Amino acid sequence: MIRLLLVDDQPLILRGLKALFKPETSLQVVGEAENGETAIRQVKALNPHVVLMDVRMPVMDGVAATREICRQFPETKVLVLTTFDDDEYVVQALRSGAAGYLLKDTPPDDLVRAIEAVHRGYTQFGPGLAQKAMGTSPSTASTPPPGWDDLTPRELEILGLIAQGASNKEIAKTLYIAEKTVKNHITNILSRLNLRDRTQAAILANSVWKQ
């Protein structure tokens, strides 16, 4: 069962999300927070698998909280759920380590599937939001960035699978290699390309290869 932390400064939204997820046998809401600062404390105390994070909140916003959660608790996935589809918010959230970005008008069934997918290691975007990220992020140049030519054929192969949304386990199965080997390759890829995480790697790869 996926342990879920809800973060939103509007009690009505929190109540609605809890009611939405209550019948879901794959999800368990283990806690909630009204701002990013509280969210960080809750992650430490409750060890959720996925944090459903709003962006605009008092005390500490969702972008700053996402950055700290991804830094301090790398096993916890952050999925942004907000009303704002501003390009800068999308880019900032992804740079901070978010595994996805959805809007609050996402259909309930799609939201549940997105949480499950993020937990498995996939990246999730609402309609049109991936294009916003690729179109505005300076990390996604139309030509290969420094370090690209240093990638080995195997690393390029793995990068391609990351761009398709494959998890480490799925990459290992596809390429008939150990999952630990996949993790080592991904570490090398991120280092060569000066990227923070696999989400940035996926956006970069899609940007380069769409040319």
Q: Angle 153-163/179-193 helices, nearest 10 degrees?
A: 90
CA-based torsion, 83, 86, 87, 91: positive or negative = negative
Task: Label residue 189 by pLDDT band (50, 70, 90).
Answer: very high
Q: Give the Cα separation of 175 and 161 in Å (integer).
A: 10
Residue 35 in tokens: 């701002």
Q: Give the Cα separation of 161 and 116 in Å (integer).
A: 19
Higher confidence at residue 129 or residue 103? 103
pLDDT, position 10? 93
Kindly report the average pLDDT of the chain as a whole number. 85
Q: Give the Cα separation of 158 and 169 in Å (integer).
A: 12
Task: Label residue 136 by pLDDT band (50, 70, 90).
Answer: very low
pLDDT at 116 over 70: yes
Cβ atoms of residues 26 and 1 within 8 Å: yes
pTM for the complete prediction?
Answer: 0.66
pLDDT at 166 over 90: no
Q: Give the Cα separation of 48 and 65 in Å (integer).
A: 15
Q: Give the Cα separation of 201 and 147 in Å (integer).
A: 12
Cβ atoms of residues 43 and 89 within 8 Å: no
pLDDT, position 206? 75
H-helix or E-strand containing 189? helix 179-193
pLDDT at 151 over 50: yes
pLDDT at 17 over 80: yes
